[in-house]
Structure 1
């Protein structure tokens, strides 16, 4: 700003006490004060879009500071395991690949799959005979030709094989092997695992040829369409947290932007070790590129207070101290400002709380727009 001049006026008052010759003086007391002023012409004030403003009573929230991470609901995450052990025959996917519900994920191969199909086929083939024996003995028993023992034995055999057949059928269906194909003597050594949800592959723990046991995690799928905050609140602040309260959060490793959320669920039990409770928050916007596992710093608004405030852009910093430019006079069309040190409180919605007001009152005017052009911070 070429036409903006900075005038720094300083004076030093020395009190000299002593006796004798005027050339032999002794300084007994020294005091110095310094004031800084900034002068802006009316022309520059108008052309640069500067603006004045007064302190106003603003609503500032009381915040509980906490931390946590971005997470997804349990229904949006799937850990893929095998029902039975087998060797990986086919793995066409990589971490980051997008999959649809019902899409093949991995193909396993095992002799156990063949044995189960053989067992099912043997049981299935006996059902017709056992059913006929049961019906025949039932008729003979009702006509009092056959004994009750033969009837009950035939009934037991049939129902036992029927239950075994149904059990094996369900196991085959869980392995995604068609019982109808087995009934047609089409037996396969392979079992395919399909995706239970839409999402992206976030973990892959196997490769072609590796053995998979029933307890082993094969891969993980996460659907990022709905993410939420999972925050940790300490015991001393628990009673302040209620459903519906506003949350402001940042992702410090990724952005300085502040995002909004709302308390949706508050945990009902305290974790003994850390004396904390979990708070579940729903995001205002879920299209911000958030990924599960991102660390967040958050503030939960518990209540509000009224305090004197000014726009944040009215404040500038010099060597770690905060200052305002207070209008002290208008002479000859120029505006003269005095630099006034202040102590700041909380910030909210573009305004900052002014907590030290010894030299200020609500009639004072301050430069609230254009400070950055003068000081560049």
Structure 2
């Protein structure tokens, strides 16, 4: 009775620790089966028993890609592998089935294909020995959790399908808005004299060809008119009617319809930029970024600030002003990749970088072989099928559920 109570206590503790989301219903109903499933053999494999016949099934990955190996025994005595036939079917998430045959090697049977990650599947093993057939089925899930759609939505979990993307490599640059010198005109009198009339005031908008000043020449005593050489805004006025010009600057006109972002690129990034590179500008006081491209690169370094670049900006509304601070994101390279995932969806699992594939209400890890990463995208070179629906937002919620369950696979 004492042994039975002890065994019952162990079973109760084991069941209490099983993760609810990944435990099949039949496992809860058959506690004795759960207890037997975790028995390990001398090769650290899972022991499967029927009567006095037993199979030890192990995933072996010491110096080779993961593979199944099988040892058979009867009444505790090894059976020569050439006397046993074995095949295994792995039923993976998404109705993917792996059919594995076995061949003799030394004192064991060796699987004829690699067991790729994740090692998460329902296992069915068929064996034949001395004309009798044996079958075992069990679940070997890892990195898997079930979350209904309502809870997933409330948790902020969002998904997309894996596919191609443009990997953009970028660098940052900082500076301010300026009015390029070519947009500014300084107005002086060609012939010094008396200003008979000033036709504009500070801040006035003027059109090219509009009269600005009427001046009476000191030499000829004839009056002449100075016209606006460009359209723009009068930003400086240093003369009044009745004053002498005396060779000084009288007015300044600035065309504010076009400005430039003057940015500085760190010296170590100089080799990465070239004319025409796209630039996204975030301007102080402006909600939406403004897109442009590099149209000037200074041939000289400007001390510790680096290399000056310029991006021309249209300012038809006149809402932008010189002096505003600007952050620029310069795209230095665009590389199209055939398969990618969003970097926000990537999490760590064991020694892998993973995303969580979604099939119905089930989420499961997919171990990734990653390539280039930049911006919001990461190139996928292996571990994920194109078109797979995967988690892009709040993937940490699924990671937390899986980590909490502590589910592991056979090794």
What TM-score do you get using the length of structure 1 for normalisation? Answer: 0.47
* Structure holding more helix per residue: 1
* Structure holding more strand per residue: 2
The higher relative CO (CA closer than 8 Å, separation ≥ 6) is in 1
